[in-house]
Amino acid sequence: MAQITVRVGETERTIEEARTRLEELEAEMRAIHEEAGDGDLDDEQRSTWETLDAECNELAVATRKAERRQRLAESRAKWGTVQVGGRKEDPFDADVRTMQDNQVLSRARQVLDDKDLAGHLRDDQREQVERVIRTRSGDLDGDLVARLLLATQQPAYRSAFQKYASNSTAFTQEEARAVEQVRLVKRALSVGGSMGADGGFAVPVLIDPTIITTAQGSMNDILRLARVETITNDTWRGISSAGVTWKFDAEAAEATDNAPKIAQPEVPTHRADGFIPFSIEIGMDWPGFAESMSMLLAEGYSELLAEKLTTGTGVNQPWGLVARLDTVTTSEVAVDAGGVLGASDVYGLWAALPQKYRRQMSTAWLSSTDVQNTIRQLGTVDPNFSVNITEEAIPRLFGRQYPMNDYMPDMPTGSGSEPVLVVGDFRGFVVAQRAGMTVEFIPHLFDRTNNRPTGERGWFAWARVGSGVVNPNGFRLLVNTT
């Protein structure tokens, strides 16, 4: 079935992208409303509101029409497939290495729609996998991910993986063939022999946190806010620019060279590994097993990323946002007095951020809980900082999100150079996750005191991930002063 798109003016989007854009427009309008409070909108706010409202209305109408076309196409499509009359096509009845690209994509989508295979996924995770397998770029070959999905989700590999998790390698011939097929597909995904191409077991794609992790489901606020890229090579390579500078000229005047400076930032990936214990009693039916394993694989990995995406040094680990900004002097703003955070410091930091980034809804604040509590208390002298601490939503400052990150330093009590508060457009921070996690099985864990088995097993798991600031001008970091 052909992809249904939403077209407004010269811009064409998928239905999912159109829905996301509608949410962004509504969020921007809500922020303007909250910023204005009970007062009237000023000229700039009114102009922005009218532009957003017009785009929102036009996009909503176009999206509803596209949704109707999609429902019609889906209704008609079933009459041209073998699924009519209750009979389903088997997505695993051919070798994924010899399939045509369109066959691979169609069958991978069929797996995503199967409740037994993908019922543990949230809608946003299913959409994330769909986006990955459809993407073809210099950094991401979605066809390879789709082939890995089919290879690792086929019944024979799933049963082999479950046996492996329960300390059994007595594979049937069919299971052994499936394991070999996955090994060969995984080798095609590897670059220069990295990622353990010939060792360990590939984690089935639909429980692999390097592929199914999404911003919506993440408790890691930097990962939720950042630009997350799934890649199939070892380094993400992008293009960035400060933008073209426009100007007015007299009639027939010669144009000046306004070409922007184009940078080509790179974000290399690094190996992240962890040990994951789990009990022998884990359920062995696939839906329950998949849900439990997905949670186990993601928990420690997510917490490691929460730390390193904040403080990572870039040496054998990702660059942390705060650590990297702390090396860019042009992005730093010092507090007025060492060990003291005043309202003027917060206002000054916001004013130091270039205006075009202050307007972005992807702009957010970040600090430790201690620093956020200090800012809350500024409400005793400045009502603009009053916060209702009974609200369950993420706090907002100047109309922008303000989540907490306790890997950042607490408010210092004297002079120093500690980073205190960051604000910026998080699209300028890229997290590159290489598709594919691998595990090695540890059959029994023993108590370190008496050396007796604990009734647990374990996995040694590894993946590759990197991060970096690709637009430092889009951030400002408030630091303590000496």
Do 466 and 432 contact (CB within 8 A), yes or no?
yes
| Residues in Cβ contact with 313 at an 8 Å cutoff, skipping those fewer than 6 apart | 319, 320, 323
Using the predicted structure, report yes or no on whether residue 397 has a pLDDT greater than 50.
yes
Euclidean distance between CA atoms 466 and 470, whole angstroms: 12
Domain 198-240+263-482 CATH assignment equals 3.90.1690: yes
Task: Please compute the mean of the pLDDT values over residues 365-391 and round it to a whole number.
Answer: 81
Query: Exposure of 342 by Cβ count < 10 A (0-12 exposed, 13-18 middle, 19+ buried)?
Result: middle
Using the predicted structure, report yes or no on whether residue 89 has a pLDDT greater than 90.
no
Euclidean distance between CA atoms 315 and 319, whole angstroms: 8
Structure tokens at 452: 């007796």
Buried b (16+ CB within 10 A) or exposed e, 59-90: bbebbeebeeeeeeeeeeeeeeeeeeeeeeee
Task: Please compute the mean of the pLDDT values over residues 302-323 and round it to a whole number.
Answer: 94
Euclidean distance between CA atoms 461 and 458, whole angstroms: 9
Task: Please compute the mean of the pLDDT values over residues 373-402 and round it to a whole number.
Answer: 78
Q: What is the pTM of this model?
A: 0.73
Using the predicted structure, report yes or no on whether residue 251 has a pLDDT greater than 80.
yes
Whole-number pLDDT of residue 363: 95
**Structural domain boundaries in the chain:** 5-80, 92-197, 198-240+263-482
Whole-number pLDDT of residue 255: 75
DSSP conformational letter for 84 = G
The residue written with tokens 């010669």 in the block is: 254
Whole-number pLDDT of residue 86: 46
In angstroms, how far apart are the furthest CA atoms of the chain?
89
More confident residue, 208 or 67: 208
Whole-number pLDDT of residue 192: 39
Euclidean distance between CA atoms 350 and 365, whole angstroms: 10
Whole-number pLDDT of residue 82: 42
More confident residue, 18 or 392: 18
Using the predicted structure, report yes or no on whether residue 289 has a pLDDT greater than 90.
no
Whole-number pLDDT of residue 84: 44
Q: Which of 186-200, 331-345, 388-402 has the lowest mean pLDDT?
A: 186-200
